[in-house]
Amino acid sequence: MTCLLTRPVVALVAATLGGLVAATTMHAQTPTTTAPLPPPGVTPPPAPQAVRGDQEGPTIDVEWTSTVVGAPHPGERLCVMLRGAGAPGTPRLCVRGTVAYSAVLVRGAKTTVLPDAVVRRTGRTSVAVNVAGDDIGLRPGALRLIPLTPAGTPDRRTTPLQMTWRRAVVTGCTRTGAGQVSRGPAAGRMVALTFDDGPSTATPAVLDLLKRYKVHATFFVLGGSSTWNPRLLRRVVDEGHTLGVHSWSHARFPSWSDMRQTRNAVKAITGVTPCLFRPPYGLTNGRVVADANGLGMTSVLWSIDTNDWRLPGSGAIADRALRVGPGGIVLMHDGGGPRGQTVAALGTILRGLKARGLEPVSVETLLRYRTEYTLR
């Protein structure tokens, strides 16, 4: 019978019979893909004792508490199975690692790293992950979080968590820090593309390009144009972009009541209260900044002016925009005149930023402002 057995099976039989030396010898000669065994004296870690889950705006926060200090251990994953809420195929959300943690989504045999998930240690025996519901495919509805054992089976000792996943709708943001800025922090290699003087007939082409490149921008809008184009203004918000106030009709040094009227029009049309203001022509003074701040808005200037309103040609617009460095704010226009050159330059700009490892984000994100949401 022995002659019929292959080498790995011999090794397995030897190990099962307690022949550790024989097994080691056989493994030394036989390539193996099995996970490394824990060192002598170390027992495999137990399943998590408790799992907590909450919706925080558009993100889900899941925390595992174990009895083992420092879990997860090498090679271990802490996982929950997601059932319901548009999670087909019951994917598993897992945290792995010991020093540098990462989060993964396991769907069938496919494991996807979640690069935007934030994993943090919340105590000596607990670890938590925060990840956007969109990134793991959640849709509004009932959701169950089922804790899993280290073997990957539902852990019957831990109660599954029931929650309702809701649609998070932006209602505004909270400004902090300097009352007027012309750039954000360089750390994180983020930049902000901003478009002034819309909404206008050029805005849809800008939105189409931003959507194609999966990028969010900031639109400083005129109150008058907004009331003429309410559907367009709502589209800007629905596609995840940020709105800021630019005054009602582009007056120099707009009054407090002008800013307030524009802010209230944007809020009435979209449900979003802006926390950003851009002074027309960049003309600013202490009174303008104080009025904007008093209305809960930061005055936002720029570090790069593309001069696109002068119609210098799309190549020149792209060249200027791509001089931006980390933390920079780029000024462009989606209204106030013919904007074909700006639209023509935008694809080149977005590809150029990506090639330089710069991530375009909204001004709110660049300045690390907190976005306010309501759950529906």
Q: Rule CB under 5 A: which residues touch Zn ion?
A: 196-197, 280
Neighbours of 235 (CB within 10 A): 16
Shortest spacing between CB 181 and Zn ion, in angstroms: 17
DSSP 154: B
**165 vs 220, which CB is nearer to Zn ion?**
220
Closest CA to 126 of 54, 71, 52: 71
Shortest spacing between CB 301 and Zn ion, in angstroms: 12
Which residue of the chain is nearest Zn ion when measured via CB?
196
DSSP 226: H
Gap between the Cα atoms of 189 and 14, Å rounded: 55
Neighbours of 16 (CB within 10 A): 9
HSE on the CB side for 11, CA within 13 Å?
A: 14
**247 vs 371, which CB is nearer to Zn ion?**
247
Looking at this protein, which amino acid is placed at residue 97? G
Q: Is residue 183 classed as helix, strand or coil in its secondary structure?
A: strand
Instruction: Give ∠ CA 166-172-178 in degrees, rounded to 5.
Output: 140
Shortest spacing between CB 196 and Zn ion, in angstroms: 4
Tokens 């831990």 correspond to what residue? 158
Shortest spacing between CB 280 and Zn ion, in angstroms: 5
**197 vs 334, which CB is nearer to Zn ion?**
197
DSSP 116: T
Gap between the Cα atoms of 300 and 42, Å rounded: 57
- Helix (H), strand (E) counts: the chain: 10, 21
Catalytic residue IDs: 196, 333
Shortest spacing between CB 296 and Zn ion, in angstroms: 21
**181 vs 222, which CB is nearer to Zn ion?**
222
**76 vs 196, which CB is nearer to Zn ion?**
196
